[in-house]
A and B are shown apart, each in its own frame.
Chain A
Amino acid sequence: MSESIVLEIRDLRSHFFTAKGQVPAVDGVSIQVPAGKIIGIVGESGCGKSMTFMSVMGLLRYPGKVVGGTIFLDGRDITHLKPKELSKVRGNEISMIFQEPMTSLNPVYPVGKQVREAILLHQKVSKKEARERVLDIFRAVGISEPEKRYYSYPHQLSGGLRQRVMIGMAMVCRPKVMIADEPTTALDVTIEAQILRLMQRLCREQGTSIILITHNMGVVAEVCDYVYVMYAGKVMEQAETFALFERTSHPYTQGLLRSIPKLDEKAKRLYTIEGVVPNLLHLPKGCSFCTRCGQARERCFSERPKLYETEDGHGVRCFAYEREGVFV
């Protein structure tokens, strides 16, 4: 990876402090985001993918807490910023949109004003000028009749439109990185395609890097340049998108891909990964996937694998690839 890195997460650890014990929801995650690329983060719900980026945004609330690791945004350590400094970064240099466009907008304010607020918070412009910019970004994210929509309340818009407003809000300050946490999960398939194409276009035109959190391998294949597969708070495999699909290495990723229905194959029955996501309080002693892995050997139950680098540049957390050297 020779491009400049805008966001680097190094060995991030975030824990939940619950009555039943300390839950390592993010357990030593390292991710690099190059400028102007779309990075996919894949995994089942509860694997820590949202948690990782809530930690990056400093949005983690009690009982969740970042306990270790460093986050660099454009070479600057933002891990230990004071609330005041952090709020200058949030929404300005790095922004985030969420899964639920229905509830992510404040029901009692017109959407235009909610987007305008993001501009007024970070830039010294007049309200009138800010309004013009809101209308510009509304046009850019494909909202028709922006003048009219400016004064609409969230409940008067469709889910797709609301997500466009959210993207507009996230992009209006031209951030370096936009994190999209399952942005299309709650939308229709046709709307989903539109939103994904919109994000791709914005990424190209504005040079913003996008981190796409999803559990949908199809979405990843369509828009992402590079993919991280997460499981139980750890990165299991990482590779360029094409390479990941071409030479899937980790047994977990293989399972994920096999469980997608394909139109061109007449499968008798859809594949499912055996078992359930392990309880993070009682993780296996060895590899966290060992209890569900078809290829697990004795060693997998007693020892934790590191992230090993394969010949073709994948990172894989599996003893099967150990001989090829430790990644990073």
Chain B
Amino acid sequence: MEKTMTEDKNQVVGSEAMDGQRDKEHIREDLELSAQLGESDSWEDKLKTMVRQNKLAAFSAVILFLIFLAAVFAPVVAPYDHLAQSLTDRLQDPSAAHLLGTDELGRDVLSRIIYGARISLTIGLVPTLISMAIGTVLGLCAGFYGGKVDFIIMRLADVMLAFPSLLLAMVVMYTMGGGLINIFIALSLVNWAGTARIVRSQTLSLKEKEFVEAARSIGVKKWTIMFRHILPNCLPSLIVLFTLNIPSAILSEASLSFLGIGAQPPSASWGLMAVRGKKYLFSEPWLSIAPSAAIMIVVMAFNFLGDGLRDVLDPYLKEQ
């Protein structure tokens, strides 16, 4: 690659030009080039690159934004009250009045799905944010202080990562009992280890960089170096990681609720709706399939967006 980089950006040189991950390669080369020329792209430019190169990621962002709006304005958007029961309207097929039919208590499924988006998005965003904040601080400390601090934190992370994640959440739910709030706490507590590992390894390499040395030599305080100098450089990876961690949190909540140890009735959690609809699978399949599909769409959109962001922000963060 060296040859290409030292030469004019527009010129394609013989043997180096091959087919292959063209989009990704192009983005990567562009990034490398701009890094070499010292004209690092602004955030805005990078996002523009993504929108241009990866239509699917851009489309996913739009979808997520729309779902987010629907969740916020659920009372306005939803055609019915999501809790209003009506025994005369039980288990109706999808129709003009009820686009996705009604459930066994006569509640409008579409309205419940719209309200359910509130739960899924909150579960996706908040516990992920909390667990990543914990992981970031621990990873920074481990990488920056090294020695015993590093050893203890990382062995703790090893232990956390050794658990099958769903099972770990289940154990926490056993301890604290069911309910959405407890899922919140469980997911906040168990998912920090992966973030800690990545932040630690980045801190280790950033610690050796000149600008950190320089800051240290003029007597900047340790915490200031960690949070003002090192942390901002970890941000691109963290954003990508955040986008890719959200769907797994959403799936965890759905799974726990599906197993009956998460959200409790009459909550409109999608996982809970799916498991309650399961009883009527052979007569009214939409009852369980519709909320499942809602989960799939949101998860898929986050995955597409995360993939796209990774390509532009942090091409070196490997797919695990």
Direct contact of A and B (CB under 8 A): yes
Interface residues of A (CB under 8 A from B): 16, 18, 20, 23, 25, 45-46, 48-52, 54, 61-64, 98, 181, 276-277, 279-281
A20 to B17, CA, bound (A): 14
Which of chain A's residues have a CB closer than 8 A to the CB of B8? 276-277, 279
Which of chain A's residues have a CB closer than 8 A to the CB of B10? 20, 279, 281
Which of chain A's residues have a CB closer than 8 A to the CB of B13? 25, 45-46, 50-51
**Any A CB within 8 A of the CB of B318:** no
User: When the two chains form their complex, are residues B19 and A50 in contact, meaning their CB atoms are under 8 A apart?
Assistant: no
Which of chain B's residues have a CB closer than 8 A to the CB of A51? 13-15
A49 to B18, CA, bound (A): 16
**Any A CB within 8 A of the CB of B32:** no
Which of chain B's residues have a CB closer than 8 A to the CB of A18? 12
Nearest B residue to A19, CB-CB: B26
User: When the two chains form their complex, are residues B3 and A45 in contact, meaning their CB atoms are under 8 A apart?
Assistant: yes
A62 to B17, CA, bound (A): 8
User: When the two chains form their complex, are residues B11 and A49 in contact, meaning their CB atoms are under 8 A apart?
Assistant: no
**B1-32 Cβ-contact flags toward A at 8 Å (1 or 0):** 00100011011111101111000000000000
A52 to B3, CA, bound (A): 17
A62 to B18, CA, bound (A): 6
User: When the two chains form their complex, are residues A281 and B11 in contact, meaning their CB atoms are under 8 A apart?
Assistant: yes
Nearest B residue to A44, CB-CB: B7
User: When the two chains form their complex, are residues B18 and A61 in contact, meaning their CB atoms are under 8 A apart?
Assistant: yes
A193 to B7, CA, bound (A): 29
User: When the two chains form their complex, are residues B12 and A181 in contact, meaning their CB atoms are under 8 A apart?
Assistant: no
Task: Supply 17 A–B pairs (Cβ within 8 Å), ascending by A.
Answer: A16-B12, A23-B11, A46-B7, A46-B11, A49-B14, A50-B13, A51-B14, A54-B14, A61-B19, A61-B20, A62-B18, A63-B12, A63-B19, A277-B8, A279-B8, A279-B10, A280-B12
Interface residues of B (CB under 8 A from A): 3, 7-8, 10-15, 17-20
Nearest CB in chain B: distance from A291 CB, A: 13
Q: Which of B14, B18, B19, B20 contacts A46 (CB 8 A)?
A: B14
Nearest B residue to A99, CB-CB: B15
A49 to B15, CA, bound (A): 9
A23 to B12, CA, bound (A): 8
Which of chain B's residues have a CB closer than 8 A to the CB of A23? 11-12
Q: Give the A-B pair count, Cβ closer than 8 A.
A: 53
What 6 A-B pairs are tightest by C-beta distance, nearest first?
Answer: A51-B14, A50-B14, A62-B19, A50-B15, A61-B19, A61-B18
Nearest CB in chain B: distance from A98 CB, A: 8
A231 to B12, CA, bound (A): 15
Which of chain A's residues have a CB closer than 8 A to the CB of B14? 25, 46, 48-52, 54, 64
Q: Which of A52, A54, A98, A280 contacts B11 (CB 8 A)?
A: A280
Nearest CB in chain A: distance from B250 CB, A: 37
A276 to B8, CA, bound (A): 9
Nearest B residue to A98, CB-CB: B15
User: When the two chains form their complex, are residues B19 and A277 in contact, meaning their CB atoms are under 8 A apart?
Assistant: no
User: When the two chains form their complex, are residues B17 and A46 in contact, meaning their CB atoms are under 8 A apart?
Assistant: no
A48 to B15, CA, bound (A): 9
Nearest CB in chain B: distance from A113 CB, A: 25
Nearest A residue to B8, CB-CB: A279
Nearest B residue to A233, CB-CB: B14
A229 to B218, CA, bound (A): 55
Nearest B residue to A21, CB-CB: B10
Which of chain B's residues have a CB closer than 8 A to the CB of A46? 3, 7, 11, 13-14
Nearest CB in chain A: distance from B21 CB, A: 12
Nearest CB in chain B: distance from A45 CB, A: 5
A124 to B212, CA, bound (A): 63
Which of chain A's residues have a CB closer than 8 A to the CB of B18? 61-62
A63 to B12, CA, bound (A): 10
Which of chain B's residues have a CB closer than 8 A to the CB of A277? 7-8, 11
Which of chain A's residues have a CB closer than 8 A to the CB of B7? 45-46, 277
A61 to B19, CA, bound (A): 6
User: When the two chains form their complex, are residues B3 and A16 in contact, meaning their CB atoms are under 8 A apart?
Assistant: no
A320 to B183, CA, bound (A): 83
A135 to B163, CA, bound (A): 52
A23 to B13, CA, bound (A): 10
Which of chain B's residues have a CB closer than 8 A to the CB of A52? 14
A11 to B223, CA, bound (A): 66
Which of chain B's residues have a CB closer than 8 A to the CB of A280? 11-12
Kindly name the residue among B3, B14, B17 whose own CB sees the greatest number of chain A CB atoms within 10 A: B14
A18 to B13, CA, bound (A): 12
Nearest CB in chain A: distance from B71 CB, A: 39
Nearest A residue to B20, CB-CB: A61
User: When the two chains form their complex, are residues B11 and A64 in contact, meaning their CB atoms are under 8 A apart?
Assistant: no
Which of chain A's residues have a CB closer than 8 A to the CB of B19? 61-63
A212 to B10, CA, bound (A): 27
Nearest CB in chain A: distance from B81 CB, A: 53
Nearest B residue to A276, CB-CB: B8
A280 to B20, CA, bound (A): 23
Kindly name the residue among A46, A63, A98, A280 whose own CB sees the greatest number of chain B CB atoms within 10 A: A46
A280 to B7, CA, bound (A): 12
Nearest CB in chain A: distance from B4 CB, A: 9
User: When the two chains form their complex, are residues A54 and B15 in contact, meaning their CB atoms are under 8 A apart?
Assistant: yes
A82 to B3, CA, bound (A): 32
Which of chain B's residues have a CB closer than 8 A to the CB of A98? 15
User: When the two chains form their complex, are residues B15 and A25 in contact, meaning their CB atoms are under 8 A apart?
Assistant: no
User: When the two chains form their complex, are residues A64 and B17 in contact, meaning their CB atoms are under 8 A apart?
Assistant: yes
